[in-house]
Structure 1
Amino acid sequence: MLPDKESITVAYAIDAGEVESLGKIGTTQTEIDRLCKRLQSKASHVRVVYEAGPCGYGLHRQLTQRGFESMVCAPSLIPRKPGERVKTDRRDAAKLVRSLRAGDLTAVYVPGVEDEAFRDLARAWAAVKEDLRQARQRLKSFLLAHGVGYTGRANWGESHRRWLSEYSFANAWQQLAFEEHRRTIEDRLVQCGRLELALRDAVVNWRFYPVVLALQAMRGVQFVTAVGMVSELGDLSRFTHPRQLMAWLGVTPSEHSSDGKRRQGSITKTGNSYARKLLVEAAWSYRHMARVAPEIQQRHEGLPKAIIDRAWDAQLRLCRRYRKLVARGKNANIAVVAVARELAGFIWDIARLAMALALPRSGQSI
């Protein structure tokens, strides 16, 4: 199948027979039910595949409820011939059937309904925070263009924001533009606070709340990072080895080896870019000497000793790892990415430990 906003292009094959086209159908529930009946009339066991895309997982859930073996595949991992220059929905649907039969497709993780809802809330929060960052940058650029500078630290603290509220331009048009920039920032701040409060209320009732709590025992992993990472990763038990999580995050080195020679390049940067960004940001905190700061001690309250000990092991190893890489002449950015790769392994381990220990769902400070 090849779904889009208004139609679904369908192709099928029976056993090892030729691939045939069923044409296009609509996306309404009635037309999908009619398609399911047609497919069930052709075989007792039906496997269905379609590309992951902007239409989400609704079709997958409908097909699963009807008893079909449904798979959502990763578009970037579908085999393609180098010289292929003609692309149509009908050809792509037939190609999916052949690739499924050959076992050449890679399935993407389909979150549960509750997990997807929580992820939507977390992504809305992340999007508003990005809007806030861009709004602040626009105001800084506006002030720089007119030679207006703040004498203190422009860190958007209380004194900085007070100065902005009291500053005014002589020209009425410039003053209006300035006020609109400043009001946009204030609106985004209110929106961020509203969404963060909703997240803190919702996460307590989420099934991965123990993982969010446990990950905050680690250095560099605060509430923002923990919620963002877990909402994007979902069920970490689907990764049987930490290397699988590292590969999913795109922090493993690319490789081109042949003729007995092994050549490794930059990281692959595949998978979830937002989760990778959070991971690398957390890894920067391991540049400094290992220590348990007061804010980390506060996050340790109520957590099992096994998780706290594992977080300390991670800090000792990763801080040492960064210093060794820099001492060997590695660039700081390269060293941090290497630390981030190992940090992903500790996240995998602590998350599994948290679920095994069955941490309480409430009563913890986040």
Structure 2
Amino acid sequence: MAEITRSAVARVGVDLSKRVFQVHAVDRGGRVLVAKPMSPERFFVWCAELPAGCLVAMEACGGAHHVARRLRLLGLDARLIAGHFVTPYRMAGRSGKNDANDAAAICEAAGRPHMRFVPVKTAAQQGQLAVHRLREGFKEERTALINRIRGLLTEFGLVFPQSPEALRKVLAEVIEDGANELPGVARLALQRAHLHWIDIDLQMAWCDERIASHVRSDDRAKAAATLQGIGPVTASALVASVGDFSQFDNARQFGAWLGLVPSQNSTGGKACLGRITKRGDDYLRTLLIQGAKSAVMSAGKRTDRISLWLVQLKERVGWQKAVVALANKNARILWAVLTRGVAFNPDHIPEPPAARCCLRPQPAA
């Protein structure tokens, strides 16, 4: 009976956790065949007996890419779904969230013909992204440490300019200066904080070295780094996160995936556009925005078409909107560069779209 049931399974929804996988399997008619929790080891053994090409869907969460890669090695069609696409299919609504209901909702969402799935990342992609995540953690830790040092110094009447470099230059002297009222224990504490700051800088330098090595060895990342407002960190993060850029049908779809297109609240044929949607990966969008800020600030020093457009746009709509516009433009240019295999040219003039021949019926004589 178990073998007959497994051969009839057409779609499986799995709610992942650290120790228990909640499984919800249905046949082609939507009849529930299996609805029970399994240990991860038992789950993979159970999946090994599923028919080849069976759809197994999961939410995109921690460990989901690893599970999807293992399932694909078993010949199954493993797919990932963003969590906000699963919630509307939970029959019990928001108040009935549990593992069983989530697995059933994932299974139902995976059966929709127009569902959007998250591409499964390779181990190499996730390895490179691990460096970026580590670097972000060090950066946040360094900012918190600098603020902590400033707060401690302020308690003893020692206030310095806001720049981290300004504090770095005087911190060692302040710790050794016997003229201030810093007590001995405070000097020891600040000395340890200073050593911690130096260690964080060394760790970030290692991360930057690994990212630079990735850009040098990857042709796509090297091509992405040629765009104005895209440096090595952004180029490496984009290539590692996206993988295959041809999964997007066009450049606008890629910009929308990054959350850089305007939100809509349109009705009755009247278009009403608002702020950018801010969907997708916050880290990628932040890198593109920060890089665009640098390019907009220095646009007046260049004479290429994009820089001239930026100068005019900044005067017309303001600095912030010009930055977001350049970030969106860079995302679209990057898609074109990496999918068409062309080099970035800031003076490129796009070809006008071909005139559409509209055949209208001629009036009767």
Query: After TM superposition, is the score higher than 0.5?
Result: yes
Is 1:230 the equivalent of 2:217? no
Q: Which runs of 5+ in 1 are unaligned?
A: 293-311, 358-366
Q: Secondary structure at the match of 1:257?
A: coil
Per-residue deviation, 1:247: 0.7
Match 1:170 to one of 175, 182, 189 = 182
Q: Distance in 2 between matches of 1:351 and 1:135?
A: 39
Question: Would you say the 8 A contact 1:246–1:344 is kept in 2?
Answer: yes
Identity rate, percent? 23
Question: Would you say the 8 A contact 1:219–1:286 is kept in 2?
Answer: no
Map of 1:1-366 to 2, 5 A cutoff? 1-28=14-41, 31-40=42-51, 45-78=53-86, 80=88, 84=93, 85-103=95-113, 105-150=115-160, 154-156=163-165, 160-168=167-175, 170-205=182-217, 209-284=218-293, 285-291=295-301, 316-317=305-306, 319-328=307-316, 330-353=317-340, 355=341
Per-residue deviation, 1:181: 2.3
Q: Distance in 2 between matches of 1:264 and 1:19?
A: 43
With structure 2 as the length reference, what TM-score do the two structures score?
0.79
Q: Distance in 2 between matches of 1:121 and 1:131?
A: 15
Per-residue deviation, 1:288: 3.4
Question: Would you say the 8 A contact 2:263–2:274 is kept in 1?
Answer: yes
Q: Distance in 2 between matches of 1:45 and 1:327?
A: 56
For the aligned residues, what is the CA RMSD? 2.6
Question: Would you say the 8 A contact 1:20–1:94 is kept in 2?
Answer: no
Q: Secondary structure at the match of 2:160?
A: coil
Q: Distance in 1 between matches of 2:296 and 2:206?
A: 31
CA change 1:321–1:19 in 2 (3 A) is farther
Which residue does the alignment assign to 1:304? none
Question: Would you say the 8 A contact 2:54–2:77 is kept in 1?
Answer: yes
Deviation digits for residues 240-260 of structure 1 (CA, Å, limit 9, x no counterpart): 311111111111111011112
Q: Distance in 1 between matches of 2:192 and 2:263?
A: 46
CA change 1:187–1:37 in 2 (3 A) is closer
User: Rg larger in 1 or in 2?
Assistant: 2
Question: Would you say the 8 A contact 2:57–2:81 is kept in 1?
Answer: yes
CA change 1:136–1:56 in 2 (3 A) is farther
Q: Secondary structure at the match of 1:48?
A: strand
State how many pairs are aligned: 322
Which residue does the alignment assign to 1:309? none
Q: Which runs of 5+ in 2 are unaligned?
A: 1-13, 176-180, 344-365
Question: Would you say the 8 A contact 1:122–1:231 is kept in 2?
Answer: no
Question: Would you say the 8 A contact 1:139–1:181 is kept in 2?
Answer: yes
The residue type paired with residue 336 of structure 1 is V
Per-residue deviation, 1:36: 1.5
The residue type paired with residue 250 of structure 1 is G
CA change 1:215–1:96 in 2 (3 A) is closer
Per-residue deviation, 1:58: 1.6
After TM superposition, what 4+ stretches of structure 1 lie above 6 angstroms from structure 2? none
Question: Would you say the 8 A contact 1:21–1:90 is kept in 2?
Answer: no
Name the structure, 1 or 2, with higher relative contact order (CA <8 Å, separation 6+).
Answer: 1
Q: Secondary structure at the match of 2:79?
A: strand
Q: Distance in 2 between matches of 1:52 and 1:118?
A: 18
Q: Secondary structure at the match of 2:88?
A: coil
